[in-house]
């Protein structure tokens, strides 16, 4: 076995395993080259020699409706594959050093915002957690149980390494010939008073937002993403419907979300659409190219596959691509957790740090159980 991907779509009980045994995943040079392709996509924030765009071509597919019944030999084979693919990357795990590095990056990024270099830019960080990496399938199962409304994925290849993801953010999905995406931005921690406002439709995660007060910063941040998506989609669809924003729950956090549905003029240009929208301002910034370059050259680490996307593309499962947020990379002696947040000119460092801490809890909870 050279590569596998185990995933569960939001609000579903079945989990799908795809395996590639005899070849390495396909290495693709550009997002537009996904046109006409099918398989399981593993996309980085930025395509490079060290973080290529990968496509797993399934040679074996299994669907599990009851996760507890996965065959013991399959579990052992998957975990052996992941162990071989795990990175030996090290990093200073001292919390004070993480905080210091974040402060340096924040000042650098924020000064560019104040000077008018960007309208918005996303600053990310990583955090190392030491731990036992030998029970990844149990962690995947735990994520499925704890986050029923999120997209859960565990994938492993020699090039990407092994990653576990529990993300609330849809990038692109097809349902009955209608395509969907969302603009998800703005973040607050969920408190006990907010929980009483959750919709009776428990599957949706939508909350009654009439009494939830969002700051101007959060509202503006989400509007930037929604406007960006509208402008991108106009080049590929003549029929775009936007609804929202609404307040939606994702684990211990709430976000503002606008939903977009649209018809795609030609499915053959799906790769072009992906190249146009990724990375969105929810993970990058505006202007897109300038902020992306600044992130690549100034964040104190490489994002790799964090804030990229993954999921089935034009496969037996259809197309369901999700942004790789609330994720962690498995390394030899533990896990590298990733989180980020959107900065505007009026952002405050301590508040932004606390937002990343809240986002990291999604994965910390999975590790600590």
Sequence ranges of the domains in the chain: 2-368
Predicted local confidence at residue 70, as pLDDT = 82
Q: Which residues pair with 249 in a beta bridge?
A: 254
> Which value, to the nearest 10 degrees, does the dihedral of the CA atoms of residues 274, 275, 281, 285 take?
170
CA distance 253 to 247: 10
* Tokens read off for 122: 């996303």
SS3 state at 119: coil
Q: Where are the beta strands (DSSP E) in 298-360?
A: 309-313, 320-323, 327-331, 334-343
CB atoms within 10 A of CB 84: 12
Asked: is 2-368 a CATH 3.20.20.20 domain? The reply is: no
Residues with Cβ < 8 Å from 232, sequence gap 6 or more? Answer: 273, 276, 277
CA distance 358 to 190: 10
Pairing of strands 39-43, 206-207: unpaired
Residues with Cβ < 8 Å from 87, sequence gap 6 or more? Answer: 161, 329, 330, 331, 332
Predicted local confidence at residue 344, as pLDDT = 96
Q: CA distances (Å), 2 to each of 21, 56, 146, 161, 337, in order? A: 5, 10, 29, 11, 24
Predicted local confidence at residue 317, as pLDDT = 86
CB atoms within 10 A of CB 256: 25
Predicted local confidence at residue 231, as pLDDT = 97
Predicted local confidence at residue 94, as pLDDT = 63
Q: Could you please report the per-residue DSSP string of 14-55?
A: -EEEEEE-SSPPEEES-GGGGTT--EEEEE-SS--SSS-EEE
**Tens-digit pLDDT string for the chain (369 aa):** 789 999 999 999 999 999 999 899 999 999 999 999 999 999 999 999 999 999 999 999 999 986 667 888 888 899 888 888 887 765 555 667 999 999 999 999 999 999 999 999 999 999 999 999 989 999 999 999 999 999 999 999 999 999 999 999 999 999 888 999 999 999 999 876 655 555 544 455 665 555 688 999 999 999 999 999 999 999 999 899 999 999 999 989 999 999 999 999 887 899 999 999 999 999 999 999 999 999 999 999 999 999 999 999 998 889 999 999 999 999 999 999 999 999 999 999 999 999 999 999 999 999 986
Predicted local confidence at residue 93, as pLDDT = 56
The pTM assigned to this predicted structure is 0.94
């Amino acid at each position: 076995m050279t590569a596998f991907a185990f995933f569960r779509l939001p609000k579903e009980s079945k989990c799908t395993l795809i395996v590639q045994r005899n070849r390495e995943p396909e290495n693709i040079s550009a997002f537009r080259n996904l046109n006409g392709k099918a398989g399981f996509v593993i996309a980085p924030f930025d395509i490079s020699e060290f973080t290529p765009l990968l496509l797993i071509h399934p040679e074996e597919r299994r669907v599990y409706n009851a996760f507890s019944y996965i065959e013991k030999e399959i579990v052992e084979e998957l975990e052996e594959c992941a162990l071989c693919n795990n990175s030996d990357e090290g990093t200073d795990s001292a919390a004070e050093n993480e905080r210091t590095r974040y402060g340096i990056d924040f000042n650098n990024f924020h000064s560019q915002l104040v000077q008018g270099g960007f309208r918005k830019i996303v600053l990310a960080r990583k955090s190392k957690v030491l731990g036992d990496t030998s029970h990844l399938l149990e962690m995947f199962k735990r994520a499925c149980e704890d986050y029923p409304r999120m997209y859960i994925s565990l994938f492993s290849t020699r090039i990407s390494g092994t990653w576990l993801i529990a993300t609330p953010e849809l990038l692109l999905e097809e349902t009955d010939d209608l395509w969907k995406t969302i603009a998800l931005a703005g973040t607050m921690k969920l408190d006990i008073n907010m929980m009483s406002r959750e919709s009776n439709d428990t599957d949706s995660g939508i909350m009654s937002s009439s009494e939830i007060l969002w700051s101007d910063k959060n509202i503006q941040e989400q509007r930037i993403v929604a406007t960006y998506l509208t402008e991108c989609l106009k080049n590929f669809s003549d029929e775009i419907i936007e609804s929202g924003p609404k307040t939606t729950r994702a684990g211990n956090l709430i976000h503002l979300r606008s939903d977009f549905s649209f018809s795609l003029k030609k499915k053959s240009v799906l790769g072009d659409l992906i190249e146009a929208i990724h990375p969105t301002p929810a993970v990058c910034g505006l202007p897109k190219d300038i902020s992306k370059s600044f992130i690549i050259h100034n964040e104190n680490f490489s994002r790799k596959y964090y804030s990229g996307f993954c999921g089935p593309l034009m496969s037996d499962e259809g197309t369901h691509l999700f942004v790789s947020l609330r994720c962690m990379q498995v390394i030899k002696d533990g896990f590298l957790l990733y989180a980020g947040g959107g900065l505007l000119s009026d952002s405050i460092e301590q508040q932004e740090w606390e937002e990343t801490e809240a986002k990291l809890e999604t994965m910390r909870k999975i590790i600590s159980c």
